[in-house]
Amino acid sequence: MEFDTPGFQRANKKIQAVRALYSCCRKSGTSFLYVVVKGLLIWALYNKRIWMHQKTCIHGLKNIELKGRLTLGIEYVGFMHRLDKTFLNIQGKLRINGNYSIGSGCRFDIGNNATVTIGDRGFINANSVFIIMHELEIGNNCAISWGCQFLDEDFHEVSYPEKRQKDKSIKIGNHVWIGCGVKIYGGSTIPDNCVVASDSVVKGRFLTQNALIAGHPARIVRENIEWT
């Protein structure tokens, strides 16, 4: 029997992928049977590859555009419980340009006319909140830690003489690490290869790449940094 044919190699990769998914589900307290059955149903109805924890709820699944695989709430996080809920309310558009992971307990509220675009090979850790009524862009290879908040709308209007209308979009570059508890508000830009320190509050446009951004309000505290 020939074990080096392309067909055998593809079959072997699929078996390894199933084993990896089973191991991941077992460690995080996720029902493997639910993940597989729900995933196959979504694939059949929507032609999307989504593996989701049994405590995940999606409103507006048809508004999600995927170019890879999306996992929701099935990655192991030591401080999370198997009954924690993940909720995505997608009234606008959620575009993901590759394989991506969203952690347990996350909340997404994407408004009717809003767009969230996320790059390839990154992740959002547990308990992060995204309330986007305008636009959010996240680049490739970005690591977003737990307990973060992204908000681009005030929901109340404060008026005063000579007030200027500002762009409320949020833009995150490639290979950006956002530490736990960070809050990022409308009109913010974080360039490529930057790190945002834990508990920072970002509201502004930064232009310097490879910078450490920290504080409340956030400012650049180091330049020419690298992170892995």
Instruction: Determine the average pLDDT of the residues in 49-78.
Output: 96
Q: Evaluate if residue 12 carries a pLDDT over 50.
A: yes
Report the percent of the chain where pLDDT is more than 70: 97
Per DSSP bridges, beta strands 212-215 and 218-222 are: antiparallel
pLDDT of residue 3: 54
The neighbouring-strand residues paired with 225 are none
* C-alpha to C-alpha distance for 175 and 157, rounded to whole angstroms: 34
Tens digit of each residue's pLDDT (9 = 90 or more) over 95-124: 999 999 999 999 999 999 999 999 999 999
Structural domains for the chain? 6-222 (2.160.10.10)
Tracing tokens 């409103």 back to the chain, one arrives at 59
pLDDT of residue 158: 87
The pTM (predicted TM-score) of the whole model is 0.92
Q: Evaluate if residue 90 carries a pLDDT over 70.
A: yes
